[in-house]
Structure 1
Amino acid sequence: MRNNKAVLPGFGLSLGYTILYLSIIVFIPLSAVFIKSLGIGWEGLLGILQDTRILKALQLSFTTALIAALINVVLGFLLAWCLVRYTFPAKRIIDALIDLPFALPTAVAGIALTSLYASTGWVGQYLEPLGIKIAYTSVGITLALIFIGIPFVVRTVQPVLSDLETELEEASSALGATRWQTFRYVIFPIILPPLITGFALAFARGVGEYGSVIFIAGNQPYKTEIAPLMIISRLEEYDYAGATTIAVIMLVLSFVILLLINILQSWATHRTGRNV
């Protein structure tokens, strides 16, 4: 009987440390949120679920995060492709700028975007006379989420493209495949798992984003009010049970969506035989 042992020992210690770390950083705080939300009772929970203002805020947060993540998948792939496959002036500068949303305070990003796209902003003053309004609309919220989410897609896809052998594309071309067929049957199956991973990261970041969105949203009830703002409002009213209940609803919805994304990613990974 074959004995499969790890090359490096210490599985038990590593597993114990991992569980302890996750318990302190993730499980215990999340459990506290769930326990705190129980104080509102079933009637309070039903009241929140029937509150049109809260439902509109949840719908806006998840919809804009989903749209922004889908757009980032396309733009992030194109950016990663250009950075990996082509050499052009200022390439290193552009590569470094992609990580800027990671380092830039989100409030600063929100103020900058608002100053650009408001009716008196550098860009908004030309768009608004054309009937195109960005600031204080869902479009502005989506734009802010695209800004803070695109590095997740680029940095997830870029290493996979770097490791992708160009010989595969040359062999496909030599066998008579068109460029579209080469992309569809050779490149796309390989980059699909990292694209799904980048999408999940961008979506998760967008759902809970507050700083970069709060300024450009305008916070109009039933129109541009996001779910994180509803949580902050409840906290300012000392309604901690209500705030944690809204947070739990967001957590459950996010978990279900991310679980479905992970299942899709697992299917794509097994299909291509590559791990991300």
Structure 2
Amino acid sequence: MIVAVTGGKGGTGKSTLSSNLFFYFVENYKTALIDCDVETPNLPYLLGCENLNPIKDIFIEVPNIEEGKTYNYNNVCKEGALLKVRNKLIFVEELCSGCKACGINSNITFKKRSIGKIYEKKFDNGYLIVGKSNLGERKTAKIVTETKKYGLSKHCEINIIDTAAGTHCNVVRALINADKVIIVTEPTPFSISDAKRIIKVVEKLNIPYKIVLNRYGISDLKINYDFKIPYDKRIVECYCKGESFLKYDDLRNYVGEIANWILGIG
């Protein structure tokens, strides 16, 4: 089972829900929690395990442009990473996505460049897998793909993918091939507006989904939802301590309802 936890807006509580679903499932199922928010991963803090084991570097291949060498380049770079000025080829490395289209019918050669790493933390009955981009890295899609691939290679019974916020390419990469999707929102105008966008994306991908209304009770704004998690001081305290809020039976029940849908119970 692959379930993706996503949302159109940052700060709605995606990672908080993901981490507590992990703690819930790992009690009875081999579970992988995969952090695909590679530019700002925060699950290690929520699980209270900041010291992770580095597993592998993620590389892309970029043009190896040598000073003084002439290249037959056909102006195919859609990213604008290669510019031809007065017969001189200028390479802007930060813009390169590593697609290697510039090497077609060209004498351009390539070199590897590190864009990020995959980290891992082993639990008694599960794993935390984290993808993290290098500081300032702009082209991070491959990190999402490789992090997800590595996490799924653990062959766990339950795989929880925590996506980035929004509807951009990295989010879509994380959602693809998920069996179910949880969309986390909150009762604020901005959050509801952004939730509508991610709903359209998930429907385009034809993946079953449910809406979780987090911080239920902070406003009277009307919104359709399938599950709720109340605004509760105890959740905030657990968040700050890097602890699960499942120790509170009433809060645990909210997560249990979502978990039952994931498992197809009820």
Higher relative helix content: 1
Does TM, scored on the shorter chain, surpass 0.5? no
TM-score between both structures, scaled by the size of structure 1: 0.23
TM-score, scaled to structure 2: 0.23
